[in-house]
Copies of this chain bind each other. A is one copy, B any other.
Amino acid sequence: MSDDPVRDRTDDIMCATYRALCRHGHADLTMQDIADEWSKSKAALHYHYDTKRGLLLAFLEHLFESYTDCVTDPGEGDATDRLGALIDDALDPPGTAANRELRTALFEIRACAPHDDEFRARLERFDRYLHDEIERIVTEGVEAGVFRSDVDPETTATLLVTLVDGGHSRRIVLGDDGGVHTAIRAAIGDRLAGGIG
């Protein structure tokens, strides 16, 4: 792959962790599962990462980079279209196979946050990133006159991030979409264009 064997190996381990998480979920994930996906021994994994927790924290950082690559303001076109595309990507990050499994695993990992500040800090970054992307698009949309002039970008961003969070939660718990997309589009319509969807 690259000319950096250390980087290659780290990528291998992250990919193995990804596959193991999709296959087993977070609750049932063992170091052995990850080692199996990596086709190396469990001890080799502990050679590179002292603890399971450390490995998972590293994985979250790795995932955040992919996330900011996939879920990003397209930067061109109407603010309405950009916002719509961003939200769609946030609900269904593209470019990753086994999407549903990964979302499920990430959802399980969120349950660690209340008990572990380092996990919480990593997960906060995902939310804050999306919040800021939305806020920027809304601000620009208001300035360009595409959106109503009386919307508050900050409140709007919080509203939409909360909806995306809730959407993930509902889709995972209820198992299907359940009208989440429709509801979010309706909320955007209410707020930014003053229409009712």
Residues of B within 8 A of A59 (CB): none
Judge if A197 is at the interface, Cβ distance under 8 Å.
Answer: yes
Which of A12-20, A76-84, A157-165 is near enough to bind chain B?
A157-165
Considering only CB atoms and an 8 Å cut-off, how many residues of chain A contact the other chain?
53
- The answer to whether the Cβ of A170 comes within 8 Å of any Cβ in the partner chain is yes
Which residues of B lie under 8 Å from residue A170 when comparing CB positions?
Answer: 127, 161-162, 165
List the B residue with the shortest CB-CB distance to A192. Answer: B190
- Stretch of A47-55, A62-70, A102-110 that contacts chain B: A102-110
Tell me the nearest residue of chain B to A165, going by C-beta: B166
CB-CB under 8 A from A184, the residues of chain B are 159, 162
Which residue in chain B gives the minimum CB-CB distance to A110?
Answer: B173
B162 and A180: CB pair below 8 A?
Answer: yes
Task: Name the residue on B nearest A157 (C-beta).
Answer: B183
Chain B residue with Cβ nearest A117: B175
Q: Are B155 and A25 in contact (CB under 8 A)?
A: no
Q: List 13 A-B contacts (CB under 8 A).
A: A104-B114, A107-B111, A110-B169, A114-B172, A120-B174, A120-B175, A150-B196, A154-B179, A155-B183, A155-B186, A166-B167, A187-B191, A190-B191
Give 8 nearest A-B pairs by CB, closest first. A166-B166, A165-B166, A162-B166, A190-B190, A159-B183, A108-B111, A158-B183, A113-B173
- Chain A residues with CB under 8 Å of chain B are 25-28, 104, 107-108, 110-115, 120, 123-124, 127, 148, 150-152, 154-156, 158-159, 161-170, 172-175, 178-180, 182-184, 186-187, 190-191, 194, 196-197
Given contacts A28-B115, A162-B163, 19 further A-B contacts (CB under 8 A): A25-B115, A27-B27, A27-B112, A104-B114, A113-B172, A120-B174, A127-B174, A148-B196, A155-B186, A158-B179, A158-B180, A159-B186, A161-B170, A163-B163, A165-B165, A165-B170, A187-B190, A187-B191, A190-B190
